[in-house]
Structure 1
Amino acid sequence: MGSFRSLALVLLVVFVAPVAVRGWGVDGHFITCKIAQGRLSQTAVEAVNSLLPEYAKGDLASLCSWADHVKFRYHWSSPLHYIDTPDNLCTYQYRRDCKDEDGVMGRCVAGAIMNYTTQLLDYGKQTSDYNLTEALLFLSHFMGDIHQPLHVGFTSDRGGNTIDVHWFTRKAVLHHVWDDSIIETEEERFYGSNVDDLTNAIETNITNVWGDQVKAWENCSGSQKTCPTTYATEGINAACNWAYKGVTNGSVLEDDYFLSRLPIVNWRLAQGGVRLAANLNRIFG
């Protein structure tokens, strides 16, 4: 299943020519997929292992940033990482918002999640028109993106990409703060810069702190395999209530912002991981 040869070629280029633009940073996507992989059913584990390239050695998390790195090759994929919503409405509507700059419907991160979920339902058939390895990697990545609040952000500032701030003493844009800086600062201060220790802490909280929320996170209404409208609606609410709140061009973001937003970042990473696992478990049966 899937075209391992073409995927390997893409990944070879990635390692010699990394791309800086991403959603969640590398660690955020790694955490999301690591959480998910620990929650897969045996059937889903077998399907994921069969779709991953052999050199991944069954580690989905190791390839969870692949979709960011192939933007230079798959130019068509860039709009699939985010959703632009009308400024300050703090709502998401599929027909209004899920389209690219040319107005093509479905070309946003919510539409991409639906598309790659549908493609993966071909798994187990004798033939498929889709590259199911790439479908798995795109879906896993986009489930992370849709849970980063500023990937469902305002149109005018491109999800915080044009809001210049200082993260403590360093210049940054607000979007980068949520992709990378909050997670990196958390790792440095509390986990000895060890992403595995942060992942373990979030997994512990999924069991102990958020245990009564997990079933609701996993559920989709009716026979749906995935519910990106729910994820996107939560995302724009978090963007308005936490990411954008109190921030203007030139803001200096220090401990008050970091410590109050840190729980939201960890909560969204946890939701993304739990939901990715639930989606894959539903897809693969």
Structure 2
Amino acid sequence: MRILFSANVLLLSLLAASSAHAWGAEGHRLIGEMAEAQLTPAARAEVTRLLAAEPGATMASVSTWADQIRSPETAPWHYVNPPPGDCSYERGRDCEDGQCAVEAVREQVTILKSGASDAQRLTALKWVIHLAGDIHQPLHAGFKGDKGGNLYQVRAFGRGTNLHSLWDGALIRNRAAGIDALRVDASTYGAAAPAAPQPAAWAIESCKVVSSPGFYPDGRFIEQSYIDQWDPVLVARLKSAAQRLAATLNDALR
């Protein structure tokens, strides 16, 4: 029985590790929506022109595209793994062959700024929208040893899950008053974050959240005290993601 239980836990962990998507659809769409409202007229006009190739598309609606087309080749673009105890970023150490979220954002912004075809620039736009959100989910700059929290099993909201999935979506879906209240809170919470388009700095911030005392809950049960402690961080990361995404596009599409 113990062997069977252990095997089932391992299987669930591996499945979670292969299917985790940062913030889930709700978080990504919220970031896209809030960022679109902060675009300059020039950036808004170019975003609108590029998105017109997909009738009805908005920054919110395309924000999950990168998860929908996820492949083994692009999977490393969604995260970066600094070593435990060292929340810094070194490309040679943390991003082999440029295959990580930090360098993927930089590369796609370069395409967006370039004279590439509209089709290529639209694809780059969709990548930037998504990956800016990914980097601000703390566990997408978590640690390789537990696959960014995917292998850290917890029990939350009456079911078994893992810490990565908790932060991807469960904290958002189970938040009091739902997505509308989260939209208001994320729009009004605290002071504006430094908005420079610097994806390495965003990743370092996320790593520091993951490294904070209590982020990995003792006992692996998510109590209300954990939710209360980390809800302001959840809100702040969503707000910062939207601000930095808008700043990145405003800079790229001047």
TM tier relative to shorter chain: 0.7 to 0.9
Listed one character per residue, the Cα deviations across residues 192-242 of structure 1 (whole Å, up to 9, x for unaligned) are x3x24421331122xxx31xx44xx113xxxxxx31111111110011116
- Counterpart of 1:239 in structure 2 is 210
- Report the 3-state secondary structure (helix = DSSP H, G, I; strand = E; otherwise coil) of the residue aligned with 1:172: strand
Q: Identify the match of residue 118 of structure 1 among 110, 120, 127.
A: 110
Q: Aligned partners of 2:24 and 2:207: how far apart in 1?
A: 19
Q: Is the 8 A contact 2:209 2:215 kept in 1?
A: no
- Counterpart of 1:222 in structure 2 is none
Q: Aligned partners of 1:62 and 1:167: how far apart in 2?
A: 29
Change (3 A) 1:141 1:56: farther
Letter aligned with residue 164 of structure 2 = H
- Counterpart of 2:5 in structure 1 is none
- Report the 3-state secondary structure (helix = DSSP H, G, I; strand = E; otherwise coil) of the residue aligned with 2:89: coil
Q: Aligned partners of 1:247 and 1:265: how far apart in 2?
A: 16
Letter aligned with residue 136 of structure 1 = L
Q: 1:1-285 counterparts in 2 under 5 A?
A: 20-57=19-56, 59-71=58-70, 74-99=71-96, 105-122=97-114, 125=115, 128=117, 131-186=120-175, 189=176, 191=177, 193=178, 195-205=179-189, 209-210=190-191, 213-214=192-193, 217-219=194-196, 226-241=197-212, 245-247=215-217, 251-285=220-254
TM-score in terms of structure 2 length? 0.86
Unmatched runs of 5 consecutive residues or more in structure 1: 1-18, 100-104, 220-225
Q: Aligned partners of 1:151 and 1:246: how far apart in 2?
A: 15
Q: Is the 8 A contact 2:146 2:152 kept in 1?
A: yes
Q: Aligned partners of 2:60 and 2:67: how far apart in 1?
A: 14
Change (3 A) 1:129 1:280: closer
Change (3 A) 1:180 1:77: same
Q: Is the 8 A contact 1:110 1:232 kept in 2?
A: yes
Letter aligned with residue 143 of structure 2 = F
Q: Aligned partners of 1:61 and 1:253: how far apart in 2?
A: 30
Larger deviation, residues 136-145 vs 49-58: 49-58
Identity over aligned pairs, percent: 31
- Report the 3-state secondary structure (helix = DSSP H, G, I; strand = E; otherwise coil) of the residue aligned with 1:63: coil
Q: Aligned partners of 1:157 and 1:23: how far apart in 2?
A: 16
- Report the 3-state secondary structure (helix = DSSP H, G, I; strand = E; otherwise coil) of the residue aligned with 2:231: helix
Listed one character per residue, the Cα deviations across residues 40-89 of structure 1 (whole Å, up to 9, x for unaligned) are 01111111111114555352101101100101xx4311110001222343
- Report the 3-state secondary structure (helix = DSSP H, G, I; strand = E; otherwise coil) of the residue aligned with 1:61: coil
C-alpha displacement of 1:98: 1.4
Unmatched runs of 5 consecutive residues or more in structure 2: 1-17
Q: Aligned partners of 1:265 and 1:34: how far apart in 2?
A: 17
C-alpha displacement of 1:185: 1.5
Q: Aligned partners of 1:106 and 1:181: how far apart in 2?
A: 31
Q: Is the 8 A contact 1:82 1:108 kept in 2?
A: yes
Q: Aligned partners of 1:184 and 1:39: how far apart in 2?
A: 25
- Counterpart of 1:4 in structure 2 is none
Letter aligned with residue 115 of structure 1 = E
TM-score in terms of structure 1 length? 0.77
Q: Aligned partners of 1:271 and 1:230: how far apart in 2?
A: 12
Letter aligned with residue 218 of structure 1 = A
Letter aligned with residue 237 of structure 1 = K
Aligned residues: 237
Q: Is the 8 A contact 1:145 1:151 kept in 2?
A: yes
